[in-house]
Each structure stands twice: as C-alpha cells, then as structure tokens.
Amino acid sequence: MSHKSNDSPHDDATPNTPEPHAANNDTALNRIGDALRGLRYGSVLAIVQDGVVVQIERTEKTRLGKSDR
C-alpha cells in the first residue's frame, strides 16, 4: 500500500503559489542572458546563496588571430 505524504512539494493538493524569491530569479535569469549576449569566448558564473542568485560574473577572452600574434 502506497502512502502519499501531504507535505510533499509535488503534491497536487498544494496550491500553486510563487516562490518567495521568484521575482529575484526572473531578474537573475534576465541578467544572465544579458551577460551571455554577445559573448564569443569566455564564461558566465552565477553565485547562489540560500537558493538566490547573489552575484553574476562575466569573463570575456579575446582570441588573437595569426596576423595579430
């Protein structure tokens, strides 16, 4: 016999309420997208604390062609 816990985060009876930090998550995703836009070589790093993005770092590298070396 299976028993479904009432405190499960995936319980169908749980009302669909937004996460407390949902607005921050949307802002963070937009800023991560901005950081990625136009980036050819490099990286984007998102720092998360307690489930919230608190910092975004973009490192861009410039590749030199053979004629630039």
- pLDDT at residue 8, rounded to an integer: 46
- Tokens 């790093």, located at residue: 45
Using 70 as the pLDDT threshold, list the residues of the chain that sit under it.
1-21
Is residue 11 in a domain?
no
Residue 67 located in a structural domain: no
* Residue 9 domain-assigned (yes or no): no
| Element (DSSP H or E) covering residue 32 | helix 22-36
Please report whether residue 36 resides in a domain: yes
* Residue 51, domain member (yes or no): yes
Asked if residue 54 belongs to a domain, the reply is yes
Is residue 17 in some structural domain? no
What pLDDT was estimated at residue 45?
Answer: 98
Task: Tally the domains of the chain.
Answer: 1
Which range marks the domain in which residue 32 is found? 22-61
Query: Can you tell me the distance from the alpha carbon of 39 to that of 43, in angstroms, rounded to the nearest whole number?
Result: 8
In this structure, the number of other CB atoms found within 10 A of the CB of residue 35 comes to 19
Residue that the structure tokens 């995936």 belong to: 10
pLDDT of residue 19: 61
The answer to the question of residue 39 being in a domain is yes
